[in-house]
Amino acid sequence: MRFAESGLAYGLAWLVILITLFYMWALKRKSEALKRFASSGLLDQLTSSDLGKYKLKVSIVIVGIIFACISLMRPQWGFHWQETKRMGLDILIALDTSKSMLAQDVKPNRLERSKLAIKDMVAKLKGDRIGLIAFSGTAFLQCPLTADYSGFALTLDDLDTNAIPRGGTSISGAIREARRSYQGGLKKYKVLIVITDGEDHEGDPLAAAKEAADDGIRIFCIGIGTKEGELIPIRDEKGKLQFLKDRSGNTVKTQLNERVLEEIALATGGGYVRATNADFGLDLIYEQKLSQMEKRELQTKMKKSFEERFQIPLAVSFILLFLEPFISERKKRSNDLL
């Protein structure tokens, strides 16, 4: 036998102990009150209450409560094998790790805010596989598609702007890496979420998106940043905070390029959302788009399903508590029988 809610045992045990102590205290108070009323010899003649029957009624109530507590812990014995299927999507997240993601137009900065939003979305996944692509000048698959959400979170935590040694931003490189990761299989159930400021310095992201669409990949884009632009804070070798400059010594200002992200999403039947401090947009994409998409069977396995037996102690508890009021505390006297 096993208990499905064994964690309740400690609290329920204390409940039974407290109820028992209360009845013991009540019984003691009742006995003391009767003793003050009359002597023991006279008391036996004046009162019609049988203390032994009162104790029996109390015992029945306590035992009934104990069985009710056992029922709450859901005892189980016996089992049968049940086939379970895990349904879901394959979701790759391509996260921009270029220096522009250090801009602080969203707090604490674009990269850290993105990582927090990704974790919030992963917490809502139910059966979907998730993978991670880091990209700047090139792209690299940091975490292959997996249902191990804890392992994915560890990989995400390790991601920073030094993950890809080559600078710049190549959205097309991230899309091509996703295509390689999805190579083969059915031409559906494939999702790529690109999180970036949209500043593409290399390749043709729209052409790459159209090729991804031919492979059945739907791309959803999260644009992070502002159109007005933001300076990029970095620390020098001495740890002093300064702003990123180009080779000519001019301060670099990163701006959100929404147009290219909207075109990528449109070309693949996906969607585009602009991130803000209040609403990053990943929740919106998951709830309104991904959760509504057709899901495929990712895994089938046999699961041992235990038989619930909580009904038995519950029935015993009901019977005991039902019978308790019918037990009279009155003493049986000879004149009662006449």
Helix, strand, coil percentages (3-state) for the chain, rounded to 5, are 45, 25, 30
Q: Per the domain annotation, does 135 fall within a domain?
A: yes
DSSP letter assigned to residue 49: B
* Judgement on whether residues 198 and 54 belong to the same structural domain of the protein: no
Position 113 confidence tier, pLDDT thresholds 50, 70, 90: very high
If one counts the domains in the chain, the total is: 2
Which residues 6+ apart lie within 8 Å of 263 measured at CB? 206, 209
* Judgement on whether residues 108 and 227 belong to the same structural domain of the protein: yes
Q: Can you say how many angstroms the Cα of residue 104 is from the centroid of all Cα atoms in its chain?
A: 28
Q: Per the domain annotation, does 332 fall within a domain?
A: yes
Q: How far apart are CA 322 and CA 2, in angstroms?
A: 28
Comparing 30-39, 86-95, 145-154, 207-216, the range with the smallest average pLDDT is: 30-39
* Judgement on whether residues 25 and 138 belong to the same structural domain of the protein: no
Q: Output the domain CATH number for residue 158.
A: 3.40.50.410
Q: Per the domain annotation, does 15 fall within a domain?
A: yes
Q: Per the domain annotation, does 221 fall within a domain?
A: yes
- β-pairing verdict for 217-223 and 190-196: parallel
Provide the pLDDT for residue 42: 53
* Judgement on whether residues 65 and 150 belong to the same structural domain of the protein: no
- Which whole number is the average pLDDT over 314-328? 87
Provide the pLDDT for residue 153: 95
Comparing 17-26, 88-97, 234-243, 304-313, the range with the smallest average pLDDT is: 234-243
Q: Is the peptide bond before 165 cis (omega within 30 degrees of 0)?
A: no
* Strand spans (E) along the chain: 2-3, 75-88, 90-96, 129-135, 139-146, 190-196, 217-223, 230-231, 233-235, 241-243, 253-254, 271-274, 296-308
* Judgement on whether residues 250 and 113 belong to the same structural domain of the protein: yes
* Judgement on whether residues 206 and 95 belong to the same structural domain of the protein: yes
3 state DSSP class of 229:
coil
Domain that holds residue 198: 85-299
Who has greater pLDDT, 235 or 283? 283
Nearest-Å Rg of the Cα atoms of the chain is 34
* Judgement on whether residues 198 and 96 belong to the same structural domain of the protein: yes
Predicted TM-score of the model (pTM) = 0.63
* Judgement on whether residues 26 and 100 belong to the same structural domain of the protein: no
* Judgement on whether residues 212 and 325 belong to the same structural domain of the protein: no
* Judgement on whether residues 35 and 111 belong to the same structural domain of the protein: no
* Judgement on whether residues 57 and 134 belong to the same structural domain of the protein: no
* Judgement on whether residues 120 and 43 belong to the same structural domain of the protein: no
Q: Per the domain annotation, does 227 fall within a domain?
A: yes
pLDDT digits (tens, 9 = 90+) for 64-82: 999 999 999 988 888 776 6
222 strand-pairing partners:
195, 273
- Which whole number is the average pLDDT over 144-154? 93
Q: How far apart are CA 175 and CA 135, in angstroms?
A: 10
CA dist 153 → 80, 84, 181, 201 (Å): 35, 26, 19, 29
Which residues 6+ apart lie within 8 Å of 61 measured at CB? 23, 320, 321, 324
Cβ–Cβ under 8 Å, residues 254 and 199:
yes
Q: Per the domain annotation, does 257 fall within a domain?
A: yes
Q: Per the domain annotation, does 22 fall within a domain?
A: yes
Who has greater pLDDT, 245 or 326? 326
Q: Per the domain annotation, does 79 fall within a domain?
A: no
CA dist 165 → 97, 162, 238 (Å): 10, 6, 21
Q: How far apart are CA 139 and CA 165, in angstroms?
A: 10
